[in-house]
């Protein structure tokens, strides 16, 4: 009988890193709590504290049905420009919302939701990017596994008319980079479930037409004007795929283009996704008989 062997050096290294990991998480939690406390005091005193400011025009509390309504929420704090050489706009981090409505519910087997959060007219600015959304609806579930109501997370998030503008690709926000990386890896390594239409093309040549004056100036600055390029284009319609996390992505339209200079090691990749959504697929153990508390 073979007994499992453990690498003592690896266990020692992991045990040595545990205090650092705990300290790092403790510092993050302390920073988050400090920001929340400063924001609440800023709201009560109606002034900026330690660079943070939180204000609202009205807060309503209702008992029947139980709900909280916040109108004209505004939050801002000063942040340093990550890369000054890129000449990013010198503007603070701001987050505004026209209305935040929190409705509390009693969980039911048919809909085990204990809260619904609706946020309208969201707008965010920062030195790296701006983002906006017409509405965001969040449903918080109460033990969804037990009722087999949903196979995935404890929250369902729906964002309508979301738009993001990044000022410079060399200073992409971390959340935009994570979203882009997840989509690209899903399309390259995921399991394709459906694809209604697929078209691709490969072209070689020297670009002699420009869509705008800015595009021509950018080519001249980068030194790629008049150089031979390779352009690979792919179009997908009705594309459904499943990734390694059990997520099924459904995309109405995907347009991708890769351009690189043949005589130089540089290129440009662009991808536009329309009407994208994802759901968590159920595993085999999640299809068993649920727990019934009623």
Task: Write phi, then psi, for 84 (nearest 5 degrees).
Answer: -60, -30
Distance CA 215, CA 268 (A): 13
Residue 114: inside a domain = yes
Residue 31 lies in a domain: no
Structure tokens that stand for 167 in this block: 């000022």
Q: Is 191 left (phi over 0), alpha (psi -120 to 50) or beta?
A: beta
Q: Are residues 62 and 152 in the same domain?
A: yes
Q: Are residues 66 and 147 in the same domain?
A: yes
> Does residue 94 sit in the same domain as residue 196?
no
Position 32 confidence tier, pLDDT thresholds 50, 70, 90:
low
Listed residues 115, 149, 171: the one ending a domain? 171
- 50 Ramachandran zone, left/alpha/beta (phi>0; psi -120 to 50): left
Percentages of the chain per state (helix, strand, coil), in multiples of 5? 25, 45, 30
Whether residue 200 is found in the same domain as residue 167: no
- Please indicate, yes or no, whether residues 66 and 140 belong to a single structural domain of this protein: yes
* Co-location of 100 and 147 in the same domain: yes
In-domain check, residue 22? no
**Measured distance CA(167)–CA(285) in Å, rounded:** 45
Within 13 Å and on the Cβ side, how many CA atoms surround 18?
A: 7
Pairing of strands 191-205, 163-166: unpaired
Same domain membership, residue 215 and residue 158 = no
The percent of residues above 70 in pLDDT, for the chain, comes to 65
In this prediction, residue 10 carries a pLDDT of: 47
What average pLDDT does range 42-54 have in this prediction?
68
DSSP secondary structure code for residue 128 in this structure = S
**Where is pLDDT greater, at 216 or 68?**
68
The Cα 139–Cα 129 span in angstroms is 27
Q: Are residues 149 and 196 in the same domain?
A: no
Average pLDDT over residues 6-16: 48
Could you list the residue range(s) of the whole structural domain that residue 122 is in?
A: 56-171
For residue 180, the model assigns a pLDDT of 78
Q: Is residue 38 part of a domain?
A: no
DSSP class of 92: -
Read off the tokens for 65: 């049905």
Per-residue pLDDT band for 3 (boundaries 50, 70, 90) equals very low
Residues 103 and 192 in one domain: no
Assigned domain for 125 exists: yes
The model scores a pTM over 0.85 = no
- The reply to whether 41 falls in a domain is no
- Classify residue 209: in a domain, yes or no: yes
Last residue of a domain, one of 126, 149, 171: 171
Categorize the per-residue pLDDT at 287 as very low, low, confident or very high, splitting at 50, 70 and 90. Answer: low
Domain shared by 117 and 204, yes or no: no
pLDDT over 60 at 274, yes or no: yes
For the ranges 1-10, 24-33, 38-47, 227-236, the maximum mean pLDDT occurs at 227-236
Give Cβ neighbours of residue 289 (< 8 Å, ≥ 6 apart).
none
| Number of domains, the chain | 2
Q: What average pLDDT does this structure show over 220-224?
A: 53
Between strands 93-104 and 113-125, the pairing is: antiparallel
Answer yes or no: is 144 within a domain.
Answer: yes
Mean pLDDT of the chain: 75
The answer to whether residues 76 and 97 belong to one domain is yes
Instruction: Tell me which of 171, 206, 230 is where a domain ends.
Output: 171
164 shares a domain with 213:
no
């Amino acid at each position: 009988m073979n007994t499992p062997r453990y690498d003592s050096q690896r266990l020692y290294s992991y045990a040595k890193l545990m205090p650092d990991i705990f300290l790092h998480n403790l510092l993050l939690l302390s920073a988050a709590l400090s920001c929340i406390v400063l924001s609440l005091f800023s709201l009560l005193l109606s002034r900026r504290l330690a660079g943070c400011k939180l204000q609202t025009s009205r807060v309503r509390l209702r008992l029947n049905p139980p709900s909280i309504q916040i109108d004209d929420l505004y939050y801002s704090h000063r942040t340093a420009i990550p890369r000054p050489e890129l000449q990013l706009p010198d503007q603070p981090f701001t987050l505004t919302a026209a209305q935040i409505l929190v409705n509390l519910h009693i969980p039911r087997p048919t809909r085990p939701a204990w809260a619904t959060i609706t946020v309208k007219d969201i707008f965010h600015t920062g030195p790296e990017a701006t983002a906006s959304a017409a509405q965001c609806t969040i449903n918080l579930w109460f033990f969804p596994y037990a009722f087999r109501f949903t196979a995935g997370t404890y929250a369902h998030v729906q964002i309508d008319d979301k738009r993001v503008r990044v000022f410079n690709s060399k200073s992409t926000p971390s959340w935009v980079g994570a979203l882009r990386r997840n989509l690209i890896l899903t399309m390259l390594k995921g399991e394709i479930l459906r694809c209604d239409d697929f078209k691709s093309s490969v072209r070689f040549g020297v670009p002699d037409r420009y869509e705008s004056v800015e595009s021509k100036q950018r080519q001249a600055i980068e030194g790629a004007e008049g150089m031979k390029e390779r352009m690979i284009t792919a179009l997908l319609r009705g594309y459904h795929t499943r990734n390694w996390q059990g997520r099924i992505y459904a995309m109405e339209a995907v347009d991708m283009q890769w351009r690189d200079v043949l005589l130089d090691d540089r290129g440009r990749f662009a991808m536009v996704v329309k009407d994208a959504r994802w759901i968590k697929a159920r595993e085999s153990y999640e299809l068993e008989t649920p727990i019934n508390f009623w």
